[in-house]
Amino acid sequence: MLELARIQSDVVAGGGWPCSSAGGLVMGVARNNEELEAIQRLRYNIFTDELNAVFPDAVDGLDCDHYDTWCEHLMVKEIDTGRVVGTYRLLTPANAVKAGGYYSESEFDISSLAPVRNSLVEVGRSCIHADYRSGSVIMLLWSGVARRVHDYGARYVLGCASVSLRDDGVTAAEVWRAASKALQKTPELPVVVPRHRYPVERLDHTLPARVPPLIKGYLKLGATICGEPAWDPDFNTADFPVLLDMARMDTRYRRHFGLDRTPAMVS
């Protein structure tokens, strides 16, 4: 693994989130097949156990797809055990061409993003072990995403924020209610269109629900939900398109992630 950052057990991560591991955590870029398989196994276990996701072509308990080959994979490990507890994958504009497009294009028409496509990095397949959802791992992963996107010389980050439909779509309806109000205030924002739209308007909007913490985190960074949700039957989720303009990231996070430094040369 190419190490990018670490936190020790007695150090508090930025933003006030403690490190849960007795030996601390290390975040970096996967560099071999063994590390990639550990990432794919974590994804498979979390997605099948918690989302009841279906992987008809899965082999040996691994979640892998065509895009994995073209992505750079971030991982967070426990320093003392080496256990992988969190991951994100990134797809650069150049590798998206080689892969035949972005993964998001299987769910959305993103033609409205054509003017910024050459500066658009896609993130996805994010997951965190249940023992590490208090904040330290996601902050490490976000710092890795910010650093790599900055090093690529890119400006925009596109991803899908998945909301489980195991509550019959109540949470998805709450997310869309908040997102649609924001879109009305920002008519200049490019809007992407779901290929298989999830019908949020059919849900009972009076039922109580909360916006999931991960989506709240994206919004705090400065990201926006830029369209209606798509239905992903394999994961049983409503997927919301999320777009972040790095130039408009919240100032606090820009400082925390060190985005004012000179970009590195990344192949």
- The pLDDT confidence band at residue 112, using thresholds 50, 70 and 90, is very high
| DSSP-assigned letters across all residues of 36-87 | HHHHHHHHHHHHHHHH----TT-BTTB---GGGGGSEEEEEEETTT--EEEE
- The pLDDT confidence band at residue 257, using thresholds 50, 70 and 90, is confident
Q: Is the pLDDT of residue 21 over 70?
A: no
How many Cβ atoms sit within 10 Å of the Cβ of residue 163?
Answer: 25
User: Taking phi first (over 0 means left), then psi (-120 to 50 degrees means alpha), and beta for anything else, what does residue 102 get?
Assistant: beta
Question: What pLDDT shows up at residue 15?
Answer: 40
Percent of the chain with pLDDT over 70: 91
**CATH 3.40.630.30 is held by the domain 2-257:** yes
Percent of the chain with pLDDT over 90: 61
pTM over 0.85? The answer is yes
Q: Is the pLDDT of residue 264 over 70?
A: no
Q: Are strands 84-91 and 156-164 parallel, antiparallel or unpaired?
A: unpaired
- The pLDDT confidence band at residue 184, using thresholds 50, 70 and 90, is confident
What are the structural domain ranges in the chain? 2-257
* Per-chain mean pLDDT for the chain: 88
- The pLDDT confidence band at residue 89, using thresholds 50, 70 and 90, is very high
Rounded to whole angstroms, the Cα distance separating 180 from 185 reads 9
Contact 147, 4 (CB under 8 A): yes
Average pLDDT on 92-112 reads 97
Question: What pLDDT shows up at residue 205?
Answer: 65
Residue 219: enclosing H or E segment and its boundaries? Answer: helix 213-221
Length of the chain, please?
267
